[in-house]
């Protein structure tokens, strides 16, 4: 979807969402820093926002925010709406500005549209529902912490804390994209152990752990393996001085795939590269593979998908059903048995200083969510 999408939107909801207020809300949110594990101040701010709407909220031990909004029809499906509070860095002293209809930072930080666009949309839609007295079923809002560092907030949630039939995670990109599939991810941590020696006097007595690790990494298949699988080495650190042959180096990487067989093969390949090279150079290696989250796949005929499709069509946008290579809280909610779809609110170039969001995309995202709530209410047979 491009920034001209708003021209194609039907009149549905046009007079309901307050566009200027939504943009102002989003800009206010990104100015409050909320790096992973440092979401406390922003969480307090958001709880105040909910309180101003006369919506009671509470937090669990890790800091997730929960709010239950009672509907006026107990036959309507119960909806879970989610976005995460935390951002990646650099995410302090963000200075947002609007240029030619695009909201950006000053280039020294991220913008924080991932995922404060989702939070702004949810709260603006809740305000609109109250103002316009729009009928709806029960809604449970969950704002999670520490999503960016392994979905830790969502993982801390107990299944019996959630009270929803279907869920929507507002953590996608283009508003026309419905993400019904996400991969399984494993993280790899490896320690290559060589032998220290004086680099100038007798380097031949040492085993350079950095060199050994580098050779192993060079042999690995990394990046886009195929349509379903990716792999990456993201961190390598070791050594203590230039005149010492380094005896230890730590490597951190990951592999993801929608196909568990392919994922296991990729992980085995990465481990084998390390083992074979270390054996050849008489170094040692310790490797740990840890599951971060499991994949999910929603059939296109699932009601949670159909509601979103119809909602987009209602506002004049043609839906595109896609798979994503990223993980989100949707992975955790689906594992708990709540059919949860990832939807977009327009965030673009996320996790970079070039992050941006078009005002019209943000606005379309709010119209979309409001229409989901209305469409879900209309489809009262969802529970059957």
Which pLDDT score is estimated for 14?
Answer: 63
C-alpha 192: how far from chain center: 31
How does DSSP classify residue 135? -
Summarize pLDDT for 224-269 with one digit per residue, the tens.
999 999 999 999 999 999 999 999 999 999 999 999 999 999 999 9
Architecture of domain 5-182+295-383 in CATH? 3-Layer(aba) Sandwich (3.40)
Q: Is the dihedral of CA 362, 363, 367, 368 positive or negative?
A: negative
Which pLDDT score is estimated for 76?
Answer: 79
Q: Which residues contact 1 (CB under 8 A, 6 or more apart)?
A: 174, 175, 176, 177, 317, 346, 361, 364
Which pLDDT score is estimated for 330?
Answer: 96
Positions marked active-site: 86, 147
Alpha helices in the chain (DSSP H): 19-30, 40-52, 113-132, 152-155, 209-219, 260-280, 303-314, 329-335, 359-378
User: Class of 187-293 per CATH?
Assistant: alpha beta
Summarize pLDDT for 85-120 with one digit per residue, the tens.
999 999 999 999 999 999 999 999 999 999 999 999
Q: Is the pTM of this model over 0.75?
A: yes
Domain residue limits, the chain? 5-182+295-383, 187-293
Residue ranges, the chain, pLDDT below 50? 1-11, 382-384
């Amino acid at each position: 979807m491009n920034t001209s999408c708003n021209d194609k939107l039907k009149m549905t909801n046009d007079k309901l969402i307050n566009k200027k207020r939504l943009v102002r809300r989003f800009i206010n949110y990104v100015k409050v820093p909320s790096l992973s594990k440092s979401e406390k101040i922003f969480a307090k701010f958001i709880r105040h926002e909910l309180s101003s709407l006369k919506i009671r909220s509470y937090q669990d031990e890790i800091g997730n925010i929960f709010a239950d909004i009672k509907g006026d029809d107990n036959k309507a499906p119960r909806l879970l709406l989610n976005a995460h509070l935390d951002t990646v860095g650099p995410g302090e002293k963000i200075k947002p500005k609007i240029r030619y209809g695009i909201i950006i930072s000053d280039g020294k930080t991220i913008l924080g549209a991932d995922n404060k666009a989702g939070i702004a949309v949810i709260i603006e839609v809740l305000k609109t529902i109250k103002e316009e007295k729009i009928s709806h079923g029960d809604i449970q809002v969950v704002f999670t912490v520490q999503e960016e560092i392994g979905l830790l907030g969502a993982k801390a949630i107990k299944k019996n804390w959630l009270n929803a039939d279907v869920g929507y995670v507002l953590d996608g990109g283009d508003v026309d994209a419905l993400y019904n599939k996400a991969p399984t991810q494993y993280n790899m941590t490896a320690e290559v152990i060589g032998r220290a020696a004086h680099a100038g006097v007798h380097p031949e007595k040492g085993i350079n752990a950095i060199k050994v690790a580098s050779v192993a990494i060079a042999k690995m298949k990394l990046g886009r393996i195929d349509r379903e699988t990716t792999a990456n080495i993201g961190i390598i650190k070791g050594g203590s001085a230039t005149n010492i042959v380094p005896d230890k180096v730590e490597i951190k990487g990951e592999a993801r795939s929608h196909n568990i067989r392919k994922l296991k093969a990729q992980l085995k390949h990465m481990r084998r590269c390390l083992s074979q090279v270390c054996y050849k150079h008489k170094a040692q290696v310790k490797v740990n593979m840890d599951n971060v989250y499991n994949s999910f796949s929603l059939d296109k005929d699932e009601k949670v998908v159909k509601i979103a499709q119809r909602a987009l069509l209602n506002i004049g946008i043609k839906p595109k059903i896609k798979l994503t290579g990223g993980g989100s809280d949707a992975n955790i909610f689906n594992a708990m048995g709540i059919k949860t779809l990832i939807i977009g609110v327009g965030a673009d170039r996320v996790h970079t200083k070039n992050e941006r969001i078009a005002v019209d995309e943000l606005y379309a995202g709010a119209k979309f969510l409001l229409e989901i709530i209305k469409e879900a209410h209309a489809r009262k047979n969802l529970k059957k």
